[in-house]
Structure 1
Amino acid sequence: MNESEKDLKATQQVKSKKRVAEHGEVFTNEREVNAMLDLVKHETERIDSRFLEPACGNGNFLVEVLRRKLGVVDSRYGKSQIEWERYAVIAVSSIYGVDILEDNALECQERLFSIFSKIYLGKFGTNCKLEFIKSIKFILKRNILWGDALDFTNPITKKPIVFSEWSMVTENMIKRRDFVFKFLVEKTHQFSIFNDEGNPAAIDEPVKDFPLIHFLKLG
């Protein structure tokens, strides 16, 4: 499948009548996605603002959020590769999604990674770092999950959905803490990782706490 065919497949609103009947699966098209995101335009262009899509499908909303965030990273930090990488990690790690269908979650991961890698490789070419690319892949694997956002579990294993919070503590060192999705929603009283003022919600009960690590070593 070539790139144009992949793009067409990714933007289809319906994959099959069976999926519509069983899951009510209809994807939002690009025009509506952009119109809705423009309502919170200032947040989509804030590099560290966290976005959670509890029924992310194959990622139509999240890919556009990532495009906007990386556009800001590029305009502000494009002259320095290490600065670009540092803020690109913050941008990618602030995007979360969960979908009840496993193939959607995997496709969403792939689409987000494809957008990142196309911009990164196009900008820095042979200077691109494999360890950085691995870090981005690892973050997306932790942030885009297969699960049921209504009962907060994996549809098959019934294990609770657990998301990772990533915080840049120093210029290059990142902190990971894992939180149960159900607790996150109950704590914020909404399907968002924002509080009412638009700031990151206060979440103080991680199920696992990891030591600081350089952002290039996450993978």
Structure 2
Amino acid sequence: MDKQVKSKKRVTDHGEVFTNDSEVNAMLDLVKHEAERIDSRFLEPACGNGNFLTEVLKRKLTIVDSRYSKSQIEWERYSVIAVSSIYGVDILEDNAMECRDRLLGIYIEWYSKTFKKVNNDCIRSVQFLLNRNILWGDALDFTNPETKQPIIFSEWSAVNGSMLKRRDYMFKFLVEKTHQFSMFNDEGNAAAIDEPVKDFPLIHFLKLGEGDTNKL
């Protein structure tokens, strides 16, 4: 079981208490169907160091394994879609960083166990997605605690098999115009919100983080 408290000061200052494994699994079992959909989007607005999101990733990768482990390129494609559907925000920068590291570590370990040779382009794409999807921010005022810039999340949609479409939206609008934990509607589009902050051209799922896409 993961430690639930890092320090008394953090509890006092930020109310930081991590959810233990049994509670995480009990919560996810309530939405078992969604937790096991590869492309079902999950947002944790106080993600801590990732206790909830790591379990979501494990459940998604279990499904990817069961369907696509005989084809490495298919496994890579669907595992990248799984990672792209996981979002988190935390008010403490070290938590957001640790959450990204934990998710990346789980992904690499899972990938390495499934296939003998790891594709570094795939790992780079996953790392890029985590840098875009797991953010340091205050979910109550929708800004970065230091810069006070608005939190911007990316919507990732699979197009024509191996291509991804990225659209960036302000977190504030996503929360105000959609119901809790559903940032985008079932068709994969932002639901009844303002136009995206930025609209990106289609890109191959193995090209994320390459060249100009390094602009987070």
TM-score, length-scaled by structure 2: 0.92
Post-superposition offset of 1:122: 1.4
The answer for unaligned runs of 5 or more in structure 2 is 210-216
Post-superposition offset of 1:190: 2.9
Q: Does 1:63 align with 2:62?
A: no
Percent identity of equivalent pairs: 75
Post-superposition offset of 1:192: 3.1
- 1:175-212 residue CA offsets vs partner (Å, 9 max, x unmatched): 111000001111104343265xx775525621001111
Of 4, 10, 18, which aligns to 1:19? 10
- 1:89-119 residue CA offsets vs partner (Å, 9 max, x unmatched): 1100000000000000000000000110001
Of 111, 117, 120, which aligns to 1:120? 111
| Map of 1:38 onto structure 2 | 29
- Counterpart amino acid of 1:180? M
- Counterpart amino acid of 2:149? K
Report the Cα distance in structure 2 between the residues aligned to 1:154 and 1:213, rounded to whole angstroms: 28
SS in 1 for 2:206: helix
Report the Cα distance in structure 1 between the residues aligned to 2:151 and 2:121, rounded to whole angstroms: 27
Q: How does 1:1-219 map to 2 (within 5 A)?
A: 11-126=2-117, 128-193=118-183, 202=191, 203=193, 205-219=195-209
The answer for unaligned runs of 5 or more in structure 1 is 1-7
Report the Cα distance in structure 2 between the residues aligned to 1:49 and 1:191, rounded to whole angstroms: 10
- Counterpart amino acid of 1:209? D
SS in 1 for 2:116: helix
Number of residue pairs matched by the alignment: 207
Report the Cα distance in structure 2 between the residues aligned to 1:13 and 1:110, rounded to whole angstroms: 18
Give the aligned CA root-mean-square deviation in angstroms. Answer: 1.4
- 1:14-35 residue CA offsets vs partner (Å, 9 max, x unmatched): 0000000000000010001000
- 1:142-162 residue CA offsets vs partner (Å, 9 max, x unmatched): 000000000000000000000
Post-superposition offset of 1:124: 1.1
Report the Cα distance in structure 2 between the residues aligned to 1:96 and 1:108, rounded to whole angstroms: 11
Report the Cα distance in structure 2 between the residues aligned to 1:125 and 1:16, rounded to whole angstroms: 40
- Counterpart amino acid of 2:62? G
